[in-house]
Structure 1
C-alpha cells in the first residue's frame, strides 16, 4: 500500500520529539531540535501538502502569500481580512516601546480602526514580500556617497527567466538580506526558493526547492508547506508548465516544549483523504491573483489543535 504523503510530516514530528536535542532558544520557551530535514511532495493532478491530521487554515495562509506578493510590510491589510498570524510582533514592540499594557485584541482593533496608528505601529520592517518584489539597490555617486537605486522584483524576474531560459540554475527568490535583518520584526524563516524545470513544452514540470533556516514544525510548517506549494502552482500556471514537486529542506527544525499537548495528540491521528487545489482563473500576472481564484476539494481534516505562538 502506498504511504500517505502526510506520514513523512508526522515521522519528522515524532523524530524531533523523541530524539531532538533540548535547547534554550531565542524566545526562552525551549525547544527540541534536529539539524537538517527534507520532505518531498508531488504536486501533480492538483495534489497539495495540506495536512489532514489537524485543520490547517489554508485561506489564511493564501491571504498571507498574496500579501507577500504585494510587497506590503504593514499588518493592517491582513488585519482587515481577519488574518492574525503577524499580530504578536508589532504588539510586543508597541508594549515595549510605549510601556502601555494594552491587550493584543485591543491593539489589533486600533490597527484596524486607525490608519495613522497602523502606519506607525503596524509595520514589520522589510520582511519577506519587500525583499521578494523590491530588493533594495544602491548606486555609487561621484561624490563618494551612495544613493538608492531601483528595487529588484525577484518574483517577476524568476517568472520571466522561467519563460525565456527554463534550464537556468538561477531561478531563485531570496529573502535573507543581511544588510536589513536588524530592521525586520523577524528575519525570514523560509528564506530561499529555487525553481527547477524538467522536460520541455506542454509537459514541462516546475518544481520548487525551499530552504527554511528555522522551522516551528507544529505551527509554522503546515502553513509553510501549503504556501510554498501554492506559489509553485501559481508560477507554473503563469509560465504554462505542469506542477512538479515541492522539496522542503529545513535547517534548525524544532518543536516548542509548550506544544506538548498538540504534538502528543496529533501523533495519535492517521492521515485521511487527499485534498487538491483548483485554480479557477489565470490572471494576467503573478501579482493579480485573488483569494477567490483558489478552491480546495476533498478536504475533511480532523479538528484543529490550538497552541501558543512563540514571539
Structure 2
C-alpha cells in the first residue's frame, strides 16, 4: 500500500513557526536521519515528517505539496493570445493532479498583463491558454512573456476509492472550485474512516454480524464513525500526532462537515478560498491518522 504522505519538499517546522513565512528544501538521503526523522539543511533542527507537514499544510502551495509525491517546475516562454503545449517529464508511476501557472514579468521586459489557463493535463503535455487581461490592448496580443509552471503528481496505480476522491478534491481546489473540493474532501474522509474501522475490526477478529452493525452505525452518523476511529488512534499515533488528531476531530464538524452538508442539501452557503484552506488544514491530521492505521493493519 502506498503511503499518502511522501512529499518532495519539507520545511523546518521550528523555523516555520510563523505561518506567514515559508521555507522549503528537498528531502534526500543525507537529510534522513532515521525512519520518519529529518534534519534541516542549514538550521540543523531535527523533526519528524508529521511535524513538518503539520506546520506546512496551509496556503495553496503548502497544501498541494503536503499531498504530492512528485513535482516539476519550469519557466516557459509564452505568447499572449495563443495556445501552447508544455512537455512534462512525468515518471511512468506518476499521475498529475494539480498545476500552478504564475505569470512572470521581468522588470526590464514588456509589461503586458495576461491570464494563463490550464485546459488539459491528462497526457504528457500541459495544454495552456493565455488571454489578455482587461487592460491589454489589441496591439499587445502576440507579445512574448514568461510563465512559471509547477505541476504536482501522486503515485499510481491507486485503487482505493477514498484516495482517488481525495486527489480529485485537490484538483478542484487547485482550480479554485472550492465548494466541490470541500464536498469531495469531506466525503473522502468519511469513506476513509469507515474503511479504517472495517479493516481494524476485521483484523481483530470481530464477528461479521457485529462488524456490520458497527459499520452501519458509522455510516449513518459521522460523529459515531469518527469517535470509533478516535478510539483506535491511540494504538497507532505518537503523542504529537494524537494531539493534532484530537484537535482536528473536535473542529471537523464546523470546518469540514458543515460545508459538505451545505453542498449536499443545496444550501447556498459559499465556500471561499480561506474556508477550503481551513478544511484541508483540519483534515491533514485525520488523514495522517487514517493512513497510519490502514498501513499498519495491512
TM over 0.5: no
Higher helix share: 2
Q: TM-score by structure 1 length?
A: 0.28
Q: Which of structures 1 and 2 has the bigger CA Rg?
A: 2
Q: Could you say which structure has the greater relative contact order, defined with CA pairs below 8 angstroms and 6 or more residues apart?
A: 1
Q: TM-score by structure 2 length?
A: 0.29
